[in-house]
Amino acid sequence: MEIIPSVSFKNGYLVVVQDGKYRYYKEEGEKVPPSSLLNILTGYEKLYLLDLDGIEHNSPQMEVIRVLSSRRELWADPGVNDIETVTDVYVAGSHRVVLSTKSMDNIELLEQAVEISRDMVLCVDTDSGIISRSTEICSKGIRKMIEEAVDMGIEKIVLTNLSGTKFSTSHIREVPEGDFELYIGGGIENQGDDLTDRVDGVLLGFEEALKYQKKN
């Protein structure tokens, strides 16, 4: 099972969640820029970027994307809500662009994005159901959303649990069978085979990924 660190950046620096809020992560009292992160997480070939400036303020951090993608395979979630952002993020160097249901306004955006590149990733954000600003996307449910995405040509699906509870196999009961790779994230407390053999990879937050790296 593949392990991919999920790293969050805000204003050009690495942040982690503490007491329910994003706080700058510091090494020897200094904020961590993307170049330093690459020297800290040395045991991974891929990184999954949560670009908080893009997600929260529609202002993707292109320089962060450029630096991280220069030395790792990068999957970038910049809060895509228009096709121009997809193109810009690829131009900045990201190997894959992540479209998250929480940021998408409509399903048509996913179809347009696949026409640009098949190297797209769909992230299905969930709580009690799909999280999205679009009532159309929410009403589809996890199974139908994934089925439609795979029919469009999406080959990698990320299922995230944003409920604040531990991820369990119950979270993927609605995931259909199909010709795609499934990655999971959110509330992951172990990386064992007990998560289910249907899972191809796990996203670990920065601190969890750092602990995993030190153990292995």
Structure tokens, 151: 């029919």
Residues 4-53 have pLDDT tens digits of: 999 999 999 999 998 889 999 999 999 999 999 999 999 999 999 999 99
Which domain range does residue 133 map to? 2-215
What's the total number of domains in the chain?
Answer: 1
Structure tokens, 51: 């670009």
- Provide the pLDDT for residue 197: 73
Q: CATH number, domain at 77?
A: 3.20.20.70
- Provide the pLDDT for residue 193: 44
Q: What is the distance between the alpha carbons of residues 126 and 168, in angstroms, rounded to a whole number?
A: 13
The pTM score is 0.94
Helices and strands (H, E) in the chain, number of each type: 7, 12
CA separation, residue 126 to residues 40, 87, 174, 209 (Å): 30, 26, 11, 22
Residues 155-211 have pLDDT tens digits of: 999 999 988 777 777 778 889 999 999 999 987 765 444 556 789 999 999 999 999
Residues 99-148 have pLDDT tens digits of: 999 999 999 999 999 999 989 999 999 998 899 999 999 999 999 999 99
